[in-house]
A = this chain, B = another copy of it.
Amino acid sequence: MSSGVKLDISDPKIRFREPQIEMAHGAGGKASRRLVEGLFAPLFFGASTDPLGDAAHLSINGAQMAVTTDSFVVKPLVFPGGSIGELAVNGTVNDLSVSGARPEAIVVGLILEAGLRTDVLQAEIQAIANAAQKAGVRIAGGDTKVVEHGKADGMYVSTTGLGTLLPGVEINPQSVRPGDKILLSGPIGDHGITILLARGELDMEGNLRSDTRSVFPLVDALVKAAGPCVRWMRDPTRGGAATSLNELARDCGLGIVLFEDKIPVHDAVRGACELLGLDALHIANEGQFLAVVSAEFADAALKALQATPGGEEARIVGEIREQPAGSVLVMTLYGGSRIVDMLVGDPLPRIC
C-alpha cells in the first residue's frame, strides 16, 4: 500500500453478500476477488484497493520498504520438487520480488496439528531454513501454535516477508501502454498439476515437478536490463496466468493479447489439462512471473532473462493493445482466438 492510507470504517461499502465461505474463495480467482474487494478491503482500507497487490510498499522509520504476508495450506505437505516449507519461503520471496523489492527477511508462523510426527516437522523446518538460505533472506523470528489432532492437515505455515525497494523500478498497472510486450519467465502449470498428481486424484503418471523457486534472480536481471521500462510484474500463483493478466487488464483498462504458440507449457501439463478440460493459463505456478515491458526494451529484457540461470525458457508471450479493453484474448495455435477469463470456481483446491 502507499503510505498514509487511513482506515475508514465509517462507510464500509461492503458488497460481499454470499452467506458463507466456500473453497472457491481461497482459490485466487473471481470468488477470492469478490471476498477481498467486497469485504476485506472496505473494512481494512476504506475506499482504496491499492494494497491488493503482491506486496505493500510502506515507510517505516523513514525507510521505504516492502512487506507481504501469505499462509500456506498445501496438501500433501511434500510433493515432487518441493514441500510446504519451501513453498512458504519462495512464495513470500516471490511476492516481494515482483513488487520490485529485494527480499531481506522473513518471519514464520506455524500452526501444527497435535500428533504431527517430529521427522515430518523437522524436514519442513529444514526446508524453510534451506530455502531462506538459498534465497538470501534472514529468518527474523517465528511463532508456533498447536491445534487438536484432525485439524490443520499436519501443518499450516504463514510467512511474512520484508524487502528493500529495487532502485529504478516502479510497478504500476496504470503505466502500461498499448504496444508494451508481455514476458513470461518459463513454462506454466507445473506446480498445480504436480500437486494434483501428488494427491493421486488423477490416474496419470508424469515426470512433473513443482516449479517452486525464488524468482528474485530473474526479476533482478530484468530490472537491471530494462529498469524503468518494466511497467508491471506478477507471479501467477493461485488462479494462474489468466487471473493475473485479467487483473492487469482490468486495472489498466487495456486489452491483453497472448499468442498461444509462444506460451511454454510442458507436455505433461498440456496432457493433464486436456484430460480435465482445464486451461493451463488457469493453473497455479510457484516459480514463474509475468512482466510487462515497453516495446523498445522487450528484446533486451528477454535476453537478460534467458541469460540468467533458470530463465532459459523465458518468452515474449503477448502484447498490450487498446482492444479488447479490460480483457485477455488468446490467439490460438490454429488461427482462431478466445477470451480467457479469471479462474472461476475451484478446480484445484489447496495448491499453496
- Which residues does A use to contact B, with CB under 8 Å? 1, 5-7, 9, 14, 16-27, 32, 35-36, 39-40, 43-45, 51, 55-56, 58, 60-65, 67-73, 104-105, 107-118, 121-122, 125-126, 128-130, 132-133, 138-148, 150-153, 156, 158, 160, 162-165, 349-350, 352
- The 6 A-B residue pairs with the shortest CB-CB distance, nearest first, are A26-B146, A63-B63, A160-B160, A158-B158, A69-B107, A61-B63
Determine the residue in chain B with the shortest Cβ distance to A7.
Answer: B133
Chain B residues near A22 (CB-CB < 8 A): 114-115, 146
Chain B residues near A118 (CB-CB < 8 A): 16-21, 39
User: What chain B residues lie within 8 Å of A25 (beta carbons)?
Assistant: 112, 144, 146
What copy number does this chain have within its complex? 2
Decide if A14 touches B141 in the complex (CB within 8 Å): no
Answer whether A56 and B114 are a contact pair too, CB < 8 Å, given A146-B26, A158-B71: no
**Cβ of A107 and Cβ of B141 under 8 Å apart?**
no
A/B interface sample: 13 pairs, CB < 8 A = A1-B140, A9-B126, A19-B117, A20-B116, A43-B126, A51-B142, A61-B65, A63-B63, A68-B107, A69-B107, A69-B142, A70-B143, A73-B147
How many angstroms from the CA of A44 to the CA of B131 in the assembled complex?
Answer: 11
A197 to B118, CA, bound (A): 33
A344 CB → nearest B CB, Å: 15
Known contacts A19-B118, A61-B64, A151 near B152 by CB under 8 Å: yes
Q: Which residue of B lies closest to A35 (CB)?
A: B144
**Nearest-CB distance from A215 to chain B (Å)?**
18
- Nearest neighbor of A138 in chain B, beta-carbon distance: B5
A144-B32 in contact (CB<8A): yes
- Of all chain B residues, the one with the shortest Cβ separation from A19 is B118
Task: Write the nearest CB–CB distance from A136 to chain B, whole angstroms.
Answer: 10
Docked CA distance A73–B147 (Å): 7
Nearest Cβ in chain B — how far from A235, in angstroms? 13
Minimum CB–CB distance for A169 against chain B, Å: 15
Nearest CB on B from A115, distance (A): 6
Q: Known: A60-B104, A71-B110, A151-B151. Is A14-B145 also a contact (CB below 8 A)?
A: no
| Contact B114–A23 (Cβ < 8 Å) | yes
Q: How far is the CB of A18 from chain B (nearest CB, A)?
A: 6
Inter-subunit contact A7/B71 (CB<8 Å):
no
A26 touching B145 by the CB < 8 A rule? yes
With A and B bound together, what is the CA distance between A235 and B151 in angstroms? 28
B44 with A142: CB separation less than 8 A: yes
A67 touches B1 (CB 8 A): no
Taking CB atoms, residues of chain B closer than 8 Å to A27 are: 146
Q: Contact between B44 and A111 (Cβ–Cβ < 8 Å)?
A: no
* Additional pairs, 8, CB under 8 Å, beyond known A60-B164, A61-B165, A68-B107: A7-B132, A16-B118, A21-B114, A43-B128, A45-B139, A73-B111, A145-B352, A150-B150
Q: Is the CB of A67 within 8 A of B140?
A: yes
Q: How far is the CA of A16 from the CA of B116 in the complex (A)?
A: 14
Chain B hits for A151, CB < 8 A:
150-153
Instruction: Please give me the residue from chain B that is nearest to A74 by CB atom.
Output: B145
